[in-house]
Structure 1
Amino acid sequence: MSQSSPLQDQHARDTLRLIGPDPEDWVIGRDGIDHNVLIVGGGQTGAAFAYALRRAGIGRVSVIDAAPDETRAGAWTTYARMKRLRTPKTLAGPEAGLPGLSFQAWHEARYGAAAYADIERIGRTQWAEYIAWYRQFLGITIRYGTTLTLIEPAGSHFRVHLTIRTERGVETRVETARKIILGNGVAGNGSPNIVPPLTALPSSHLAHTSDAIDFAALAGKSVAVIGGAASAFDAAAVALEAGARDVHLFVRRADLPAVPVSRARAYPGAYDNFPALPDAVRWRQALRFRRAGSTAPADAVERVARFDNFHLHLGAPWHEAGVANGRVHARAADGDFAFDFVIAGTGYAVDLHARPELARIADQVLLWRDRYQPAPDERDDALGAHPYLGDALEYVEKRPGTAPFLRNIHVFNPAGFVSRGVPVGDVPCMKRDIPAVVRRISQDLFLDDLDAHEARMSAEVPTDFDTPLYEPRVYRERDVESAG
């Protein structure tokens, strides 16, 4: 990663100087509470929330991440394999409205304004460097090697069960938190979507794109990739670049999805107000995206198309798969094939019951299928499995009054797609949704201790000055008459 100098960071330092010091922590401490807010996930989401909460004067915030260290936290240095980000470089990110903390300021400080102007989209590795700088420059602490294993409601707070990996081994710990933010990535409310017949394959011959794949070991091998979205093309490209003998990419659709329908609602009116839309409109927008398909960027397709040993299969779902004589034998819609290894670029399934940390609460969370019943021709079971989130991306009770604690868990991962209209957790959602969550957390923590805050607001305030300061100039009618 690039090393910054004090001169390079001067704009960022000036920004912090001009906005003034961080507010003092105003949240009233409670006996037995370790954290006002526990943020699960130490990637770009966790760092952005930690800073936003700090600027809101909310202390006792802890960020945890299961990764062993910062080099393996988040997507950008692990399972993200694109050359460039999918989103435009002009979108607001984690800078919280402060230009000096933006990617553009960071990039121009290191490479110049002309270099930034030449960028069409941000490079993945540069974005990873920027996020690392953001975290370090703002002094955001992440507790690495720490996994949330269970959320246990305990009245007005949660008992959070953690597994912590240290140099001494693995230890378990139970801590307490009043609020939880689930910024835990694409599978944060579910799991990788491994579907039949891929479920029949052993891990020795199958990996999901979210796995740590040893691409070097695929050199000279025949590889199959299943899926037509960006992650499938990225994995195919890395396998080809690593020297795979050939790569076959299988897509169910007769044509590659090439229409990014979500751009039609990327203007501020639709973006800012999407959460306020009627359920039927939000459902139809999500359904339109599902039916159009997730579009791989043109450069992701070009990246593989330049290889003569890349083969694209359209309208070719797999019907059977198994391992025999050390190879995967598959029957697809367009023929029978044999491969040394298979990569599933099949996305993620939203299923709260797939997450062990949600075991105590999953049955109580309102899902879209519980809230909204579409017309038969608009039914989609995958969309119906998404949680129906409130205005601050909080879980909602399936049965009102039975699980009030759910309002204190905020979902900042892609399970919020149907409710919010964007893949929550990615850059496009940050400007709108991080402030919404922080405002609600602040409001709840304040109102939960209203008596104490009312007493503080009603406390005696010393005078700034005494009457001798102005007494000689107080107007008196008799003085005016004497002067006349």
Structure 2
Amino acid sequence: MSRRGNPDLAASESLRLLGADPAGWVPPTAGVDHDVAIVGAGQSGLTIGYALRRAGITRVAVLDAAESESHVGGWAAKARMRTLRTAKTLVGPELGNPALSFRAWYEAREGTAAWTALDRIPTADWISYLTWFQRQVRVPVRRGVRVLRIEPDGQDRIRLHLRRAGTDTVETARKVVLANGVEGTGGPRIPVTTAKLSPAVFAHTGRQIDFAALRGRTVAVVGAAASAFDAAATALEAHAAEVHLFSRRGDLVVARPGGNPPSPAVQDVFHRLPDAERWRRRFAFAGSTPLDSVQRATAHPNFHIHLAAPWQEATEAGSKVRVRAADGTHRFDFVIAGTGYQHDPRTRPELAAVAGRIALWRDRYQPPAELRSEHLSSFPYVGPGYELTARRPEDAGWLSAIHVFNAGASQSFGLPIGDVPSLRSGVPRLVDAIVRDLVLADLPRTKPSPAAPASREEYAHAVWKPETVAA
């Protein structure tokens, strides 16, 4: 029997049983608009907003640059994989409430048999689920708001310069959470060889690409990780004439079903490991590609893989790109870089003004020569509560008010922060840090409630009196 039901009713009942949200306990602060401002309304931002409210922090603003809720976290615009790359059984935004889980939502719609038969979660279903999740937990989102600049206000608080519909405003928050996904504290990682190519012939997988325009054209994809293969397959399905994928490695790193998943126990304590051990593990990490992503692309006879073929030069001539690679010279109509992201705060527009004051890994740890990496050394050095740390002690107060719950924290925490695997333990850890900081900061201005005035009216008749013994 395949049971179905109404996921809205089940979620509503589960929230009723949890009880009303706690009353806000953070005292108002003069000149402050928000106790917490969350930048990004994807799966992380929505989960954090919900968790903060359940922790009694009510003055929270969730800001998102996307105008439509159908672009939750950029999934609809940039996710080109057919399914999520993580196991369907991972805990997600529900944070322990099974009625809010993807499984509950999916089984109510499709039945238990469909869930059992499901391998991994279809991307389209995940987008629909996140939209449903937001409705259930009632996290308000201010959409179409872009953060232009982040700066201190001189009192260990953060000023946010915002733009909405052409109008600029400034708002102040005691805490800011950057929950802005894979771009995090940086942006697309563009290979030096393609840096001078124009948008007419080049795009990174982190940007929207008009794949329909690639019909009948010859396309090159630089990179051999999951996003590169997904872009190659999408171009092939859009009827590109040929797609050539170039890998620096002499072989692909393919993640096969049934492989050894990362230990959740190690992930949960990764941020507590010594810096040398964290660096060593991240340096040795090799991005892999799911087997189904490889098979999706290789099913097309006009798909070609170039192994051990790093690019040495790419020049634009008219509407073509001439490429000199380790395996020869080639010409293409369009180039796609599936080369991941870098997380140097100096390249992030809203952080550029304060980036020089943020401690990076290069400021805190110098690896041995054989383990050096300019890419890893440019990540921000993030504290145990996902807070930014300062290069100079005088900046520590206000920089620790900015929490990085995005891919920029991955070097410090050992897994892609903001992805589904990071929500289970990461969001409670983040909320605990925010609660701790607000409580400690407010101790000097919060006094214990005075005891009620003494009165015996309610109980005087019950007070025991020993018998009076006559003298």
Residue aligned with 2:37, SS: strand
User: Relative to structure 1, is the Cα distance of residues 182 and 377 closer, same or farther in structure 2, using a 3 angstrom cutoff?
Assistant: same
Q: Is the 8 A contact 1:150 1:162 kept in 2?
A: yes
Encode CA deviations 1:84-109: one digit per residue, 9 max, x unaligned.
11111111111121111111111111
Which of 266, 284, 290 is 1:288 aligned to? 284
Counterpart in 2 of 1:466? 458
Residue aligned with 2:77, SS: coil
Counterpart in 2 of 1:71? 70
Counterpart in 1 of 2:163? 163
The range that moved more, 46-55 or 8-17, is 8-17
Residue aligned with 1:401, SS: helix
User: Relative to structure 1, is the Cα distance of residues 204 and 268 closer, same or farther in structure 2, using a 3 angstrom cutoff?
Assistant: closer
The letter for the 2-side match of 1:336 is T
Counterpart in 1 of 2:359? 366
Residue aligned with 2:219, SS: strand
Distance 1:454 1:77 in 2: 49
Which of 374, 392, 397 is 2:390 aligned to? 397
Distance 1:189 1:196 in 2: 20
Aligned runs of 1:230-269 on 2, under 5 Å?
A: 230-258=226-254, 266-269=262-265
User: Relative to structure 1, is the Cα distance of residues 316 and 15 closer, same or farther in structure 2, using a 3 angstrom cutoff?
Assistant: same
Counterpart in 1 of 2:294? 301
Encode CA deviations 1:333-356: one digit per residue, 9 max, x unaligned.
112111111111111112111112
Q: Is the 8 A contact 2:156 2:401 kept in 1?
A: no
Distance 1:34 1:300 in 2: 45
Distance 2:453 2:81 in 1: 58
Q: Deviation at 1:250? A: 0.7
Which of 185, 188, 193 is 2:189 aligned to? 193
Encode CA deviations 1:213-262: one digit per residue, 9 max, x unaligned.
111111111111110010000000110001111111111111012368xx
Counterpart in 2 of 1:319? 312
Distance 2:248 2:136 in 1: 46
Residue aligned with 1:197, SS: helix
The range that moved more, 124-133 or 378-387, is 378-387
Q: Is the 8 A contact 1:265 1:271 kept in 2?
A: no
Q: Deviation at 1:51? A: 0.2
The range that moved more, 322-331 or 146-155, is 322-331
Counterpart in 1 of 2:325? 332
Distance 2:158 2:440 in 1: 18
Residue aligned with 1:77, SS: helix
What TM-score, normalized to structure 1? Answer: 0.91
User: Relative to structure 1, is the Cα distance of residues 6 and 156 closer, same or farther in structure 2, using a 3 angstrom cutoff?
Assistant: farther
Q: Deviation at 1:135? A: 0.7
Q: Deviation at 1:323? A: 1.9
Distance 2:250 2:333 in 1: 26
Distance 2:453 2:168 in 1: 47
Residue aligned with 2:88, SS: coil
Aligned runs of 1:423-438 on 2, under 5 Å?
A: 423-438=416-431
Distance 2:120 2:454 in 1: 55
**Do structure 1's residue 23 and structure 2's residue 22 form an aligned pair?**
yes
Distance 1:350 1:52 in 2: 26
Encode CA deviations 1:426-472: one digit per residue, 9 max, x unaligned.
0111111111111111122222221443333x45389999326855x
User: Relative to structure 1, is the Cα distance of residues 139 and 257 closer, same or farther in structure 2, using a 3 angstrom cutoff?
Assistant: same
Distance 1:234 1:461 in 2: 70
Counterpart in 1 of 2:10? 11
User: Relative to structure 1, is the Cα distance of residues 300 and 464 closer, same or farther in structure 2, using a 3 angstrom cutoff?
Assistant: farther
Encode CA deviations 1:280-317: one digit per residue, 9 max, x unaligned.
1111111110xxx2101000000011100101111111
Distance 2:399 2:441 in 1: 15
User: Relative to structure 1, is the Cα distance of residues 342 and 464 closer, same or farther in structure 2, using a 3 angstrom cutoff?
Assistant: farther
| Unpaired stretches in structure 2, ≥5 consecutive residues | none
User: Relative to structure 1, is the Cα distance of residues 98 and 461 closer, same or farther in structure 2, using a 3 angstrom cutoff?
Assistant: farther
Distance 1:354 1:161 in 2: 18
Distance 1:404 1:326 in 2: 52
The range that moved more, 80-89 or 327-336, is 327-336
Q: Is the 8 A contact 1:364 1:403 kept in 2?
A: no
**Do structure 1's residue 380 and structure 2's residue 376 form an aligned pair?**
no
Residue aligned with 2:176, SS: strand
The letter for the 2-side match of 1:72 is H
What TM-score, normalized to structure 2? Answer: 0.94
User: Relative to structure 1, is the Cα distance of residues 243 and 462 closer, same or farther in structure 2, using a 3 angstrom cutoff?
Assistant: farther
Counterpart in 1 of 2:61? 62
Distance 1:384 1:196 in 2: 18
Q: Percent identity?
A: 46
Distance 2:261 2:270 in 1: 9
Q: Is the 8 A contact 1:9 1:109 kept in 2?
A: no
Residue aligned with 1:22, SS: coil
Distance 1:177 1:211 in 2: 30
Distance 2:454 2:402 in 1: 41
The letter for the 1-side match of 2:135 is Q
Q: Deviation at 1:122? A: 0.8
Q: Is the 8 A contact 1:190 1:348 kept in 2?
A: yes
Counterpart in 2 of 1:126? 125
Q: Is the 8 A contact 2:72 2:131 kept in 1?
A: no
Distance 2:92 2:457 in 1: 46
| Unpaired stretches in structure 1, ≥5 consecutive residues | 480-484
